[in-house]
């Protein structure tokens, strides 16, 4: 019985064994290491420019290179790119990225080592129409798709060319959407229809992907895909990626959350971090994500799971009782750690989102202001904003009688005096016992602060939640991750916490984030990352979200510069999702859940969207930003810049 099975084990790290697929000289899946890949941003007709970019990517460690192939002429030019790369001594396999144009795919399949097709637009159209199919009509549609896809499969088989069947959440066809809705099931079925055609034709050089700009959606879709493959006796390798992740810290967090969560369960054979930055910037980020798993030893045993009630294919927030502003229907809280800080001054609060204005004699509180500060044994000798909760070690709290106590499980079980409001109980799985659960169950003031030193952090803390489910414990849980000085580089902190904590939030587990670094300087960065994780997992929105594409040869404007301009004008519009897409061919689909869209639609032309509807077509680029602002204003979503 497969039940909800989608990986080898929920408690022990091991890679799910896929079949090896050869992409030129690079093996993907099987016993091969997880491969790094990226995509060029140049015009595919610019042979020299594309080759130069490929070389920069290869020098960073890129093992597979994808190149956009919109039409037959670009497909033909792949030969020149390939030859020039070979002449310069590079034989890195190339992948043609094809949307809408089977004839380009068929040509490219004779030249490069792999062709990526998007089942949402290879044989289907997307006009955002709902179509009713009878079962007979639907079977006829599948036959039509087979007729369209089969020539490519046969060419690939003849030429040993691999195929990536790459489903994107935003570009599911009207046919799939009409039958399955906008769901992970629809994404999986969209790919499986194509997989079954290849399978029937005995072509097994396949790699599959289920991308989305929403990490929760992509995680659930990939898990469901593996589950479905297990059911059908298949094990094709997986290409992991979060589409249109954006740039900077936010893009890195989103990618680490989505890709890392799947790698935690041993899923994934090749990864692409997709940033609105030069493609060579993506490779170090991808390497950092893989580093998180390289030292995985399963050193600490995690207890076996009895009675697993967890549905891995569906997002559902764990039900918790509300303790003050933690748990229940409250947003997840963010805690900051000042316990190791030598001196705490008003300035220390600036990087936690609180700024004191001397002239106004008041604190300004930003949307990314932490909710609680853990002070350990410190005292504060200045007045803090009333919105911050202070947490002290138990003995300090007992003597001061202010703020909230932080206790270990022994203290919690033995002391007589507890806070009537909130008690933060620092615990790990080894502390759990029947008596502890009994006390927790009746306690309306207990908030668990769960931590572990296990390098398999995600799996162990997930098991904590399974234990809580099984024992009907509904106290809120704050997830704490400690970074030692050696592990406290900014990149390690970002990647480690995004993977370990972000993955749990994507499964609806967690009511707060508490990052601690032994490095004194990083408490502000910990705060930024904590809010970034909550934003990426869409559990607490504290800023504008930019769903910006990484750009490719189809891009019709400078994406990085444009994203920056749009960000500087709209970054105060907390909660809005703005799509910034390089082309109108794929952009509208890819930004399907954006509130507003800014999409390249011709040379120096931009088309603006409200949701999925076009509202202003082909505006000259130099007027596009002000038109976007007008559109946001017309729809009542604009706020003045300084209203914060
Ligand atoms: S949306 Fe961006 S990355 Fe995707 S095809 Fe268009 S320009 Fe390329």
Task: State pLDDT tens for residues 399-437.
Answer: 988 999 999 999 999 999 999 999 999 999 999 999 999
Q: pLDDT value at position 615?
A: 95
Ligand 1 mutation target, pool 582, 597, 601, 609, most atoms within 8 A of CB: 582
For the Cβ of 428 lying below 6 angstroms from any atom of ligand 1, the answer is no
552 pocket-lining for ligand 1 (C-beta < 6 Å): yes
Q: Which of 227, 232, 160 has the alpha carbon at shortest distance from 196?
A: 232
Q: For 317, which DSSP code?
A: P
Ligand 1: does its nearest atom lie under 6 Å from the Cβ of 549?
yes
pLDDT in tens, 117-135: 999 889 887 666 667 888 8
Ligand 1: which residue has its CA nearest to atom 6? 583
pLDDT for res 161: 98
Mutate to test the pocket of ligand 1, among 98, 274, 555 (most ligand atoms within 8 A of CB): 555
Question: Is 39's C-beta closer than 6 angstroms to any atom of ligand 1?
Answer: no
Give kind and range of the element (H or E) at residue 8.
none
Q: Rounded to 5 degrees, what angle do the CA atoms 6, 250, 354 make?
A: 125
Q: Is residue 642 very low, low, confident or very high in pLDDT (cuts 50, 70, 90)?
A: low
Question: How high is the pLDDT of residue 556?
Answer: 82
**Arithmetic mean of pLDDT, 598-622:** 93
97 pocket-lining for ligand 1 (C-beta < 6 Å): no
Q: Which atom of ligand 1 is nearest to the CA of 587?
A: 1
Q: Is the pLDDT confidence value at 570 over 90?
A: yes
State yes or no: pLDDT of 355 exceeds 60.
yes
| pLDDT on residue 520 | 66
Under CATH, what is the fold of the domain 333-536? Answer: TIM Barrel (3.20.20)
Instruction: Encode pLDDT of 130-184 as tens digits.
Output: 678 888 988 998 999 999 999 999 999 999 999 999 999 888 888 898 899 889 9
SS3 assignment, position 372: strand
Two tokens, residue 465: 């939640």
Burial label for 492, CB within 10 Å (0-12, 13-18, 19+), is middle
Does ligand 1 come within 6 angstroms of the Cβ of 581?
yes
In this prediction the pTM is: 0.94
Asked if pLDDT for residue 78 goes beyond 60, the answer is: yes
Per the CB < 8 A criterion, the answer to whether 533 and 294 are in contact is no
Is the CA virtual torsion 263, 53, 164, 127 positive or negative? positive
* Range of lowest pLDDT (158-172, 232-246, 303-317): 303-317
* Residues 578-601, mean pLDDT to the nearest whole number: 88
Q: Where does the chain hold its CATH 3.20.20.20 domain(s)?
A: 21-294
- Category of 575 on φ-ψ map: left (φ > 0), alpha (ψ -120 to 50) or beta: left
The span from the CA of 426 to the CA of 342, in Å, is 23
- DSSP H helices, 65-134, are 72-87, 102-108, 119-122
| Mean per-residue pLDDT, 18-28 | 97
pLDDT at 519: 79
Q: Quickly state the pLDDT bin for 383 (edges 50, 70, 90).
A: confident
Whether 582 is in the pocket of ligand 1, judged by its Cβ within 6 Å, is yes
**pLDDT (mean) for 259-280:** 96
Question: According to CATH, what is the number of the domain 21-294?
Answer: 3.20.20.20
Q: Which residue has the tokens 């990647």?
A: 495
In this predicted structure, the answer to whether residue 1 has a pLDDT above a threshold of 60 is no
Q: Is the CB of 273 within 6 Å of ligand 1?
A: no
The residue whose CA is least distant from atom 1 of ligand 1 is 587
pLDDT for 331 equals: 96
For residue 211, pLDDT over 50 is answered with yes
Q: How far is 247 from 252, CA to CA, in rounded Å?
A: 7
Percentage of the residues of the chain whose pLDDT score is greater than 70: 98
Note the pLDDT of residue 644: 40
Average pLDDT, the chain: 93
| Ligand 1 atom closest to 599 (CA) | 1
131 closest CA partner among 68, 185, 177, 186: 177
Q: What is 545-643's CATH topology?
A: Sulfite Reductase Hemoprotein; domain 1 (3.30.413)
Average pLDDT over residues 278-305: 88
**Cβ neighbours around 206 below 10 Å, total:** 23
User: pLDDT by residue (tens digit) across 509-556?
Assistant: 999 999 999 876 788 999 999 999 999 999 999 999 999 888 888 888
Q: Which residues contact 304 (CB under 8 A, 6 or more apart)?
A: 11
Judge whether 211 and 168 are in contact, CB under 8 Å. Answer: yes
Summarize the confidence of residues 230-238 as an average pLDDT.
Answer: 97
Given a cut of 90, whether residue 489 has pLDDT beyond it is no
Q: What are phi and psi of 89, to 5 degrees?
A: 95, 20
Residue 627 predicted with pLDDT over 70: yes
The finding on whether 67 has its CB within 6 A of some atom of ligand 1 is no
| pLDDT of residue 643 exceeding 60 | no
DSSP 368: T
Which of 585, 600, 609, when mutated, tests ligand 1's pocket best, judged by the most ligand atoms within 8 Å of its CB? 585
Residues forming beta bridges with residue 363, ordered by sequence position: 356
Look at residue 3 and tell me whether its pLDDT is greater than 50: yes
Q: Whose CA is nearest to atom 8 of ligand 1?
A: 552
If you take atom 4 of ligand 1, which residue's CA is the nearest one? 586
């Amino acid at each position: 019985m497969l039940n909800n099975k989608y990986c080898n084990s929920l408690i022990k790290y091991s890679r799910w064994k896929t079949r090896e697929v050869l992409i030129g000289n690079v093996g993907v899946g099987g016993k091969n290491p997880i491969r790094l890949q990226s995509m060029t941003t140049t015009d595919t007709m610019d042979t020299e420019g594309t080759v130069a970019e490929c070389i920069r990517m290869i020098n960073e460690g890129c093992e597979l290179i994808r190149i956009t192939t919109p039409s037959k002429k670009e497909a033909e030019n792949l030969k020149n790119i390939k030859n020039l790369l070979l002449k310069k001594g590079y034989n890195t396999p190339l992948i043609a990225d094809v949307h809408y144009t089977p004839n380009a795919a068929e040509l490219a399949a004779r030249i490069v080592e792999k062709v990526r097709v998007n089942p949402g637009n290879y044989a289907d159209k997307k006009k955002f129409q709902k179509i009713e199919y009878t079962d007979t009509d639907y079977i006829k549609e599948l036959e039509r798709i087979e007729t369209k896809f089969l020539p490519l499969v046969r060419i690939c088989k003849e030429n040993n060319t691999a195929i990536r069947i790459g489903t994107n959440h935003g570009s599911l066809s009207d046919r799939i959407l009409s039958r399955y809705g906008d769901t992970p099931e629809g994404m999986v079925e969209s790919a499986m229809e194509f997989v079954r055609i290849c399978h029937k034709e005995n072509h097994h050089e396949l790699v599959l992907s289920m991308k989305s700009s929403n990490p929760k959606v992509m995680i659930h879709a990939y898990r469901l895909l593996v589950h479905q493959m297990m059911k059908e006796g298949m094990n094709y390798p997986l290409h992991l990626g979060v589409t249109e992740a954006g740039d900077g810290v936010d893009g890195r967090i989103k990618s680490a959350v989505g890709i890392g969560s799947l790698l935690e369960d041993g899923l994934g054979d090749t990864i692409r971090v997709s940033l609105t930055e030069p493609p060579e910037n993506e490779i170090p980020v991808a390497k950092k994500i893989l580093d998180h798993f390289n030292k995985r030893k399963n050193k600490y045993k995690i207890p076996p799971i009895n009675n697993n009630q967890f549905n891995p294919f569906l997002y559902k927030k764990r039900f918790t009782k509300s303790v003050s502003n933690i748990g229940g229907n409250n947003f997840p809280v963010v805690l900051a750690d000042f316990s190791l800080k030598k001196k705490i001054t008003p300035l220390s609060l600036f990087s936690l989102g609180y700024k004191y204005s001397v002239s106004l004699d008041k604190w300004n509180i930003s949307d990314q202001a932490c909710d609680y500060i853990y002070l350990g044994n410190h005292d504060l000798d200045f007045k803090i904003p009333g919105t911050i909760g202070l947490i002290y070690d138990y003995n300090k709290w007992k003597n001061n009688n202010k703020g909230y106590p932080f206790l270990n499980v022994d203290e919690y079980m033995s002391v007589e005096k507890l806070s009537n409001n909130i008690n933060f109980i620092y615990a790990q799985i080894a502390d759990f016992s029947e008596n502890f659960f009994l006390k927790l169950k009746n306690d309306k003031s207990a908030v668990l602060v769960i931590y572990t030193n296990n390098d398999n952090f995600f799996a162990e803390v997930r098991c904590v939640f399974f234990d809580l489910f099984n024992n009907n414990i509904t106290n809120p849980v704050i997830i704490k991750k400690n970074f030692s000085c050696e592990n406290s580089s900014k990149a390690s902190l970002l990647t480690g916490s995004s993977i370990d904590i972000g993955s749990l939030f994507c499964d609806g587990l967690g009511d707060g984030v508490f990052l601690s670094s032994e490095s004194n300087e990083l408490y502000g960065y910990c705060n930024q990352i904590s809010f970034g994780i909550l934003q990426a997992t869409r559990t607490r929105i504290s800023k504008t979200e930019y769903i910006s594409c990484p750009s490719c040869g189809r891009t019709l404007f400078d994406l990085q510069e444009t994203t920056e301009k749009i960000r500087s004008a709209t970054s105060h519009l907390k909660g809005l999702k703005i799509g910034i897409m390089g082309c109108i061919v794929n952009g509208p689909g890819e930004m399907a859940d954006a509130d507003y869209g800014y999409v390249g639609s011709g040379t120096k032309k931009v088309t603006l969207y409200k949701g999925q509807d076009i509202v202003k077509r082909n505006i000259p680029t130099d007027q596009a930003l002000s038109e976007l602002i007008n559109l946001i204003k017309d729809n009542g979503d604009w706020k003045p810049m300084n209203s914060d």
